[in-house]
Amino acid sequence: MSELLGIDDVSVHFPAAGGRVVRAVEQVSLSIAAGETLALVGESGSGKSTLGFAVAGLQAPTSGGLRFEGVPLTASTWPAARRKIQIVFQDPFGALDPRMPISSIIAEPLLIQRIGTAESRRARAAELVAQVGLPRDALNRYPHEFSGGQRQRIAIARALSPAPRLIVADEPLSALDVSIQSQVLNLMKEVQETHALSYLFISHDLAVVNHLVDRVAVLYLGRLVEVADRAALFAAPAHHYTRALLDAVPRIGRRRARHGGTIKGEMPSPLNPPSGCVFHTRCPRAEALCGAEVPVLRALSDVQSVACHFPLGSE
């Protein structure tokens, strides 16, 4: 598959009090192929959403750059790319303007991009309302008249309106009831096939990730620690942090095997990240080298790379 999006050594820093710097994302390089779903996973505070906002053009990288369809994204090329990169936010209650009817909410990206006429934009909104499984009369109603799952369907319809090629989905299921999550997940699969979409799917729920994505990228404290094909990562994770994330997935029944050491303590502050490997302060395998030298992301196979001095399976 051809590359759709390239993320090249991107860092995102924020100024803090006392002249300090929050290193939210640090030197991340990734790619997403056309038609692919890449999951970005990690604990809260790992930098997932910040990187997603950078990809969607909502946050400028401090250093590094982005490519889309082979073209570097700069001040002059971003306007043309914006209609092709859309975002679905985590909170369906806060993402929709309560003063706007659904028809206007879905058509707004087209209006901003000056696409079509008022009549064609309304027709596009009606088409998308049907595609996401809402009744036609939803067009004239307002966000407060819908449930959380229905609002997220509206948000997906809005993201689809300018016919994008990539959607950044920032934890689109986490604010929904469990009973509704599977419906929205199935909808996302359907619209991906219908519209030939790629997804950057941001999530902390590995159970959901296992049912949707092609590849997984694992972030810890803003750094990429593992990238792998979904099947390879779930069968044999190479990083100790990835193993711990998988071990933390709830299981029903007696067989609740835990393969790695328990992660102790809390994630360090991005204001003062540890030296060397940023995970070494919580890693059960850490040695002196881990605190002294930053591990480089290296390929273990054609489908799996890891940034670890002592990856799982190397003992």
pLDDT tens digits for range 106-142: 999 999 999 999 999 999 999 999 999 999 999 999 9
- The answer, yes or no, to whether residue 261 has pLDDT greater than 70, is no
Q: Which amino acid is residue 266, in one-letter code?
A: E
Q: Give a yes or no: residue 61 inside a domain.
A: yes
The CATH number of the domain holding residue 35 is: 3.40.50.300
Q: Give a yes or no: residue 204 inside a domain.
A: yes
Q: Give a yes or no: residue 193 inside a domain.
A: yes
Question: Buried (b) or exposed (e) across 201-228, using 16+ Cβ within 10 A?
Answer: bbbbebebbbebbbbbbbbbbbbbbbbb
Residue 254: pLDDT band (50, 70, 90) is very low
Q: Give a yes or no: residue 224 inside a domain.
A: yes
Structural contact between residues 314 and 287, judged by C-beta atoms closer than 8 angstroms = no
d(CA 199, CA 33): 10
Residue 205: pLDDT band (50, 70, 90) is confident
Q: Give a yes or no: residue 137 inside a domain.
A: no
What is the pLDDT, as a whole number, of residue 249?
Answer: 81
What is the pTM assigned to this prediction? Answer: 0.93
Residue 177: pLDDT band (50, 70, 90) is confident
Please give the C-alpha separations between residue 164 and each of 28, 73, 160, 169, in angstroms, as whole numbers: 24, 16, 6, 13
- The answer, yes or no, to whether residue 250 has pLDDT greater than 80, is no
Higher pLDDT, 257 or 233: 233
d(CA 114, CA 222): 36
Structural domain count of the chain = 1
Give the residue-averaged pLDDT of 2-21: 96
Q: Which residue has the tokens 């670890």?
A: 308
d(CA 262, CA 241): 10
d(CA 312, CA 315): 7
Q: How many CB atoms lie within 10 A of CB 190?
A: 13
Q: Give a yes or no: residue 284 inside a domain.
A: no
Q: Give a yes or no: residue 97 inside a domain.
A: no
d(CA 56, CA 167): 8
Structural contact between residues 226 and 218, judged by C-beta atoms closer than 8 angstroms = yes
Q: Which domain holds residue 215?
A: 3-84+164-232
- SS3 for the chain is CCEEEEEEEEEEEEECHHHCEEEEEEEEEEEEECCCEEEEECCCCCCHHHHHHHHCCCCCCCEEEEEECCEECCCCCHHHHHCCEEEECCCCCCCCCCCCCHHHHHHHHHHHCCCCCHHHHHHHHHHHHHHCCCCHHHHHCCHHHCCHHHHHHHHHHHHHCCCCCEEEEECCCCCCCHHHHHHHHHHHHHHHHHHCCEEEEEECCHHHHHHHCCEEEEEECCEEEEEEEHHHHHHCCCCHHHHHHHHCCCCCCCCCCCCCCCCCCCCCCCCCCCCCCCCCCCCCCCCHHHHHCCCCCEEEECCEEECCCCCCCCC
d(CA 168, CA 165): 10
Q: Give a yes or no: residue 272 inside a domain.
A: no
Give the residue-averaged pLDDT of 73-83: 93
